Amino acid sequence: MPARDELPPVRKVVVVGGGTAGWITAGVLASRFPLRGEDGFAVTLIESRGQPPIGVGEGTWPTIRATLKQIGVTETDFLRECDASFKQGSHFVKWVDGSDADAYYHPFTLPVGYEEHNLAPYWLEDPRGQSFADSMCFQAAICGQALAPKQITTPEFTGLANYAYHLDAGKFGPFLQKHCVDKLGVRHLVEEIVRVESKDTGDIAHLVTKSGELLTADLFIDCSGFSSLLIGKHLGVPFLSQKDVLFIDKAWAVQIPYPTDDTPIASATVATAQSSGWVWDIGLTTRRGVGYVFSSRYVSDEGALEELNGYLGARGDPTRDLSYRKIDINSGYRQEFWTRNCVAVGLSAGFLEPLEASAIVMIELSAKSIANLLPSCGGGMRQAARLFNDTFRYRWERIVDFLKLHYVLSRRTDSRFWSDNRARESIPDSLREYLEYWRDHCPWHEDFAHREEVFSAASYQYILYGMGFQTHPATWLLNDRERNLAREKMNESAKYAKALTASLPGNRDLLSKVRRYGLQKI
Ligand SMILES: Cc1cc2nc3c(=O)[nH]c(=O)nc-3n(C[C@H](O)[C@H](O)[C@H](O)COP(=O)(O)OP(=O)(O)OC[C@H]3O[C@@H](n4cnc5c(N)ncnc54)[C@H](O)[C@@H]3O)c2cc1C
């Protein structure tokens, strides 16, 4: 076995792709390993002007705050330059039975007492005529009034309620690019890769650009989007389709102007169920981003467009002179994400569908894991890959379960899309086993194997009880101490909701102030 210092070092990284995945990954790595020069670490990002980034993906998860902070941008600059707004969760409309009263929240703030106690059984015992989110979390009330999660004096990246952002996907990449190049020393190339060549060992040797330049690296990060240039096309890692579980395979996307400059900006992503999928509705400071993700097995492109226009028309939005984009979605992920000296991040690794904004958070987690696992020499590559693949295979499987849960719990009967989604053969065994378990046990931390779950038991509680799932815990598993605590916490939460709704500014008001004055630096 060669001595450690005889093995090739891993300090030259090439990121292929300049979309959200490429720039987040480059930013996380370059900020974690800032030493440049001969003894340092080098990050190069290459993207092709002929293949622009996908330009959708505008809803994020609260992890994004830590990621932006790690990369070193300020929240004020980010909010201003990406037309971003505060997102505090998702609002699901017409998912349960399709009636006009059918709506519930999945807020980002955890249910009351969650850090130490599972109080969900006590809400089930006495829901006090309120939804789970309304009783167990103050944030649904804030979202209901389109309020911000903080004040102008609240320091950057902190809030009175947990939050993420809605951002302009077309502006986010260029914003990160400027910071990564100017402040973090990332080398940026605009060139098309036309060929990938491997060594005898099977590792990638170099990328060949259209102008004939050879790009070598110790580690290649494939952020090439759906084209999956390295991990898919070159290395041939199989793609595991999830289309028999998650039926969405197309989207119509459109941008909608606000009728006036002071129209309130929603504080949550609104997800409204339709005959064959659902419509996302995301409010930025300058416009809304709206789209219908649907299954072509159940509705034609024209039929879906008509439904999308029906949604817009019912809200009084324009439906003429809009520019609609059709996007194909191939739901699934790679069998491996890190193979040899190549790791895939973003759409090249996989994509399921936009529900619950799980894609950008997976990019953030991937970038963080690469930084944490990165060996200093090539000898550690195989072990790093094994650890990364085990964790991320688990994460993709868990996300499939969590997204499918939204469809399985629906009682809609208006189309085959919804009834087929409840067919036993379309539900993964793992989800069926969880649902069986949760008949008499409310989801809790220990139900899941990992310390850092993408969707924790809190998220499962919000969806299960928001959609009317019934858990019947045995009476001998309940006690008065926790029963009283639950009552106390729910009362406190109601009071806090009242105080916050009386004092927090509107989402738009705060964002306008941020444009003028900026947030307080940490
Ligand atoms: C309809 C829809 C809605 C979505 N909504 C959400 C959401 O709300 N929240 C969320 O988290 N995610 C969402 N996503 C996913 C999200 O859009 C992506 O995860 C995110 O944009 C990352 O994309 P990417 O960087 O992997 O790929 P892309 O943006 O496609 O970037 C690919 C890059 O690779 C480069 N490239 C490709 N081939 C070559 C080549 N030969 N040479 C050089 N460069 C090359 C391109 O130039 C480009 O820069 C959505 C996706 C879809 C389809």
Residue 155 forms part of a structural domain = no
Residue 82 forms part of a structural domain = no
Q: What is the pLDDT of residue 451?
A: 74
Task: Count Cβ atoms within 10 A of the Cβ of residue 4 and give its class: 0-12 exposed, 13-18 middle, 19 or more buried.
Answer: exposed
510 CA → ligand 1 middle, Å: 30
Residue 284 forms part of a structural domain = yes
Average pLDDT, the chain: 96
Q: Based on the domain organization, do 177 and 322 belong to the same domain?
A: no
Domain range for 296 is 250-328
Total domains in the chain come to 2
Chain mean position to CA 441: 27
Q: Is the CB of 21 under 6 A from ligand 1?
A: yes
* CATH number for position 37: 3.50.50.60
Q: Is the CB of 271 under 6 A from ligand 1?
A: no
Q: Based on the domain organization, do 228 and 177 belong to the same domain?
A: yes
- Closest ligand 1 atom to residue 349 Cα is 26
- Give pairs for 414-418: CB < 8 Å, separation 24+: 414/98, 414/275, 415/275, 415/276, 415/298, 416/298, 417/247, 417/275, 417/276, 417/277, 417/295, 417/297, 417/298, 417/299
Q: Based on the domain organization, do 234 and 178 belong to the same domain?
A: yes
pTM score over 0.85:
yes
Q: Based on the domain organization, do 176 and 202 belong to the same domain?
A: yes
Residues 212-258: tens digit of each pLDDT: 999 999 999 999 999 999 999 999 999 999 999 999 999 999 999 99
Where does a domain end: 398, 421, 451? 398
Q: Based on the domain organization, do 319 and 370 belong to the same domain?
A: no
Residues 308-348: tens digit of each pLDDT: 999 999 999 988 889 999 999 999 999 999 999 999 999 99
Residues 389-405: tens digit of each pLDDT: 999 999 999 999 999 99
Q: Based on the domain organization, do 228 and 344 belong to the same domain?
A: yes
Where does a domain end: 328, 343, 374? 328
Q: Based on the domain organization, do 324 and 340 belong to the same domain?
A: no
Pocket test for ligand 1, best of 14, 56, 191 (most atoms within 8 A of CB): 56
Where does a domain end: 275, 301, 328? 328
514 CA → ligand 1 middle, Å: 28
Q: Residue 2's pLDDT band (boundaries 50, 70, 90)?
A: low
Q: Based on the domain organization, do 259 and 213 belong to the same domain?
A: no
Q: Based on the domain organization, do 340 and 235 belong to the same domain?
A: yes
326 CA → ligand 1 middle, Å: 15
Residues 281-318: tens digit of each pLDDT: 999 999 999 999 999 999 999 999 999 999 999 999 98
Q: What is the pLDDT of residue 325?
A: 97
Residue 517 forms part of a structural domain = no
Rounded to an integer, the average pLDDT of 56-69 is 98
Q: Based on the domain organization, do 317 and 254 belong to the same domain?
A: yes
- Closest ligand 1 atom to residue 23 Cα is 25
Task: Count Cβ atoms within 10 A of the Cβ of residue 262 and give its class: 0-12 exposed, 13-18 middle, 19 or more buried.
Answer: exposed
Q: Residue 115's pLDDT band (boundaries 50, 70, 90)?
A: confident
